[in-house]
Structure 1
Amino acid sequence: MPTTVLGVVIFVGLLLPGYLYERRRERDIPQRTRSPLRETMSVLFVGVSADVVTGLILALAWSTLPVRAPDLAALLRTPREYLIAGPWLVVGWAAAGLAFACLSAYLVAARPWHRWLRRRTRFGKLLRHAEPQQSSWWLLLREHPDLPKYVGCYLDDGSYVAGRLHSFSRVSDETADRDLSLRHDPEHPLVYRPKGADQTYPLTNIGAVAISARRIVLLTVTYREAPPPVSTESAKFPAQATPTAQE
């Protein structure tokens, strides 16, 4: 571990891009249990890679553009004296380099070009189904991220509840400890059908509900801009819209 202020700054500069990469990447992949060593190595590798690429880009800019740049040779020979003589030049370039490295790592994790490829190119279907071995829970609820999802749940006691998807657990393990939440939608409110009933009832004055995965027997997901309201017939069998996926 670093024992000086400069060492701490360098240590943070090495790890911060990798940390941002991991945090952003977690939003698009199922949650997995990883060993501390593997997670540390991932953060360190991405951080160092982003810093090295940023350093090469800055060196190219210093050699080709008419800008005032630090003297790296003098900085490496006598870092203390050089920093005292011109601290703002070094600090400014270091801050700009760190910001660029963090932004680069974040964009690599976000992969905006991946979304464009999925929508606009012939490889979109291949990319959407590139990892079919993932959890079906994750694949169904993450499919078509730009479309609202209308979810219907048949519960183990024979009842039925449906509504607009609000959130769901990112745990990739197929366990019953996961849950999802449905929220009220102005056009399609939360509805509930008790066991043995033939008609669904809106859940008035309720903004959202949480449902445990251990209670779900059948899960339907509808990907549409405006799925039709759930009627009595759709309560018997949730064929309210297509395409419908089942788990």
Structure 2
Amino acid sequence: MPTTITGLVLLVVLLLPGLTFVIVRERSGSDHRTTPFRETGIVVFGSVIAEIITLGLFGVIRVLMPQLTPDVGRLIREGTVYARNQYVAITWWAAGLLLFSCLIAACAALVTRKNPHPSAASAWWIMFDTWFPGENPVVGCVLEDGSYVEGRQASFNVSSDDSPDRDLILVEPLKYRAPGAAEVKPLPWGAACISARQIVTMFVSYPVHPERAEGAGATQASDPAAS
């Protein structure tokens, strides 16, 4: 671990692209929780690759337009003397190169992301994203006490682990059936948060799109058994 402010800043700068890669990849998919060693390796490897590409592009710009870029040779030879004289240009270029490295890492995370195999994904991810992504289906939940809650899925935990320590958010139109009751009644609320620990059974109803309905009708018409 760094023991000085300068060392801490350098550590953050060096690892920021890799951290960007991990954060973007986590937010755009459902991945297994990796070990600290593996996650550290991903951060370091992602940072190194992004920064090598960035420095390579900087080298090309330096060769083509030396008057617009800081003189790296003088910076190495003269050190703080050159840095004090050219601190504005060096600061702007350093910040720009860092942001460009993070942009490369974010783009790499978006390009390399992929839906996990069903065997490695949670049941929630399969129902809410894999089968019909972006649908926000109607979800009905039977809870431990026998009550029933129904609403449109608005948000869910994308963790690949089927853990009870997560929540499901449903939005209107909300319906509720009290324990022991036979009738489901509408609720005058906008949203409900349900703990996965309390859910016994979950039902999902997907919207029917015209193209899907036409495809299903064509399949039935061409199937003698269906006729």
Cα deviation, residue 67, structure 1: 5.1
Alignment partners' CA distance in 1, 2:164 and 2:7: 46
Secondary structure at the residue paired with 1:17? helix
Matched, 1:78 2:78: yes
- Aligned-pair Cα RMSD in Å: 2.9
Alignment partners' CA distance in 2, 1:52 and 1:162: 51
Mapped contact 1:148–1:225 kept (Cα < 8 A): no
Q: Who is 2:150 aligned against? A: 162
Return the letter of the residue paired with 1:23.
I
Q: Choose from 210, 222, 245 the match for 2:205.
A: 222
* Residues 198 and 44 of structure 1, relative CA distance in 2, 3 Å threshold: same
Alignment partners' CA distance in 2, 1:211 and 1:193: 14
Q: Who is 1:173 aligned against? A: 161
Percent identity for Structure 1 against Structure 2: 39
Cα deviation, residue 69, structure 1: 1.4
Give unpaired runs (5+ residues) of structure 1. Answer: 115-126, 227-241, 243-247
* Residues 6 and 63 of structure 1, relative CA distance in 2, 3 Å threshold: farther
Cα deviation, residue 181, structure 1: 1.9
The 5-angstrom pairing of residues 1-247 of structure 1 reads: 1-2=1-2, 6-30=6-30, 32-65=32-65, 68-111=68-111, 131-133=117-119, 134-143=121-130, 144-184=132-172, 189-195=173-179, 197-204=181-188, 206-224=189-207
Cα deviation, residue 53, structure 1: 0.8
Mapped contact 2:128–2:136 kept (Cα < 8 A): no
Higher helix share: 2
Q: Residue deviations 1:70-109, cap 9 Å, x none? A: 2222222232222123122222211110111111212222
TM-score by length of 2: 0.77
Alignment partners' CA distance in 1, 2:105 and 2:63: 24
Give unpaired runs (5+ residues) of structure 2. Answer: 210-215, 217-227
Mapped contact 1:21–1:46 kept (Cα < 8 A): yes
Secondary structure at the residue paired with 2:117? coil
TM-score by length of 1: 0.71
Mapped contact 1:156–1:215 kept (Cα < 8 A): yes
Q: Residue deviations 1:18-59, cap 9 Å, x none? A: 122222222133465443333222222211211111111111
Secondary structure at the residue paired with 2:28? coil
Q: Who is 2:213 aligned against? A: none
Return the letter of the residue paired with 2:125.
W
Q: How many residues are treated as equivalent by the alignment?
A: 208
* Residues 8 and 14 of structure 1, relative CA distance in 2, 3 Å threshold: same
Whose relative contact order is higher, 1 or 2, with alpha carbons under 8 Å and at least 6 apart? Answer: 2
